[in-house]
Amino acid sequence: MIEPSILDTSRYIYLMDTRARKSGLKFKMGGNFEDYAEITTNIAGKSPTDPSFRPDCSRLDAGRAFWIVGEDQSGKVAHVQALRMDNLMATNLVRHLESLKGFYANPKSRAGSGSSCICRAPTAQKITGRVVYHGDIWLREDFRGQGLPRTFASIAFGLAWVKWSPDFIYALVHTWSIEKGVADQYGYLHREAHGAILSLPDRRIEEDDWLIWLTRRELSRNIKFTVAKAQALDLS
């Protein structure tokens, strides 16, 4: 399959950004996670950002991670999400998560006593290469129910493709997100339970998250299909 060009991907991001703006949401992105921590700390109603996207816990170089913030027309934060690329060429997602390297740059010195992660999702053994984690997703209540999860996730996918052309992109989501269909709205095509049974006692984190993911081929196909469909509608 021929992969999307830079022009295709730019059109894809533009289409999604236009949809978001019509809903009253405008995006900005950045690579400084000190700024991101300051933004997210002050958001009422959002759960604390986990160590994966905290600069005091993880290595979040500008070329290796970025964040997206959506603001309403008055400039108030209405949405956040973040992505990071991990080089798993010599390992796989199971070992990456269970070693706690998905959460801490140096687990031995930074993870609290009793911290652990178990990954029982079978396909995680096969997730390797250039792997992007998509997380810390939050949307303000007054913007929910408008179809925006697919839009903002697509913007993240497009930017991830431009930056890294990943082999896989994945997220870890709560069971309620699966049961209520929220995870489906992001556009992920695969899911498996017990993707991360995570215990970080010092941070009061006790989770049993689902693993959801897309392959490189699926992400590529989605970008090309969306652009082709939009072009066909313009010509009709």
Long-range contacts of 86-91 (CB under 8 A, 24+ apart): 86/131, 86/132, 86/133, 87/130, 87/131, 88/127, 88/128, 88/129, 88/130, 88/131, 89/128, 89/129, 89/130, 91/128
> What's the whole-number average pLDDT of the chain?
94
pLDDT at residue 60 above 80? yes
pLDDT of residue 62: 83
6-235, what's its fold? Answer: Aminopeptidase (3.40.630)
pLDDT at residue 233 above 80? no
pTM of the model: 0.95
Segment 192-199 mean pLDDT:
98
pLDDT of residue 8: 93
What is the tens place of the pLDDT at every residue in 145-173?
898 999 999 999 999 999 999 999 999 99
Question: Binning pLDDT at 50, 70 and 90, where does residue 235 land?
Answer: low
What are the residue ranges spanned by the domains of the chain? Answer: 6-235
Question: Binning pLDDT at 50, 70 and 90, where does residue 236 land?
Answer: very low
Question: Binning pLDDT at 50, 70 and 90, where does residue 1 land?
Answer: low
What is the tens place of the pLDDT at every residue in 73-82?
999 999 999 9
pLDDT at residue 47 above 70? yes
111/105 Cα distance (integer angstroms): 9
Segment 95-120 mean pLDDT:
96
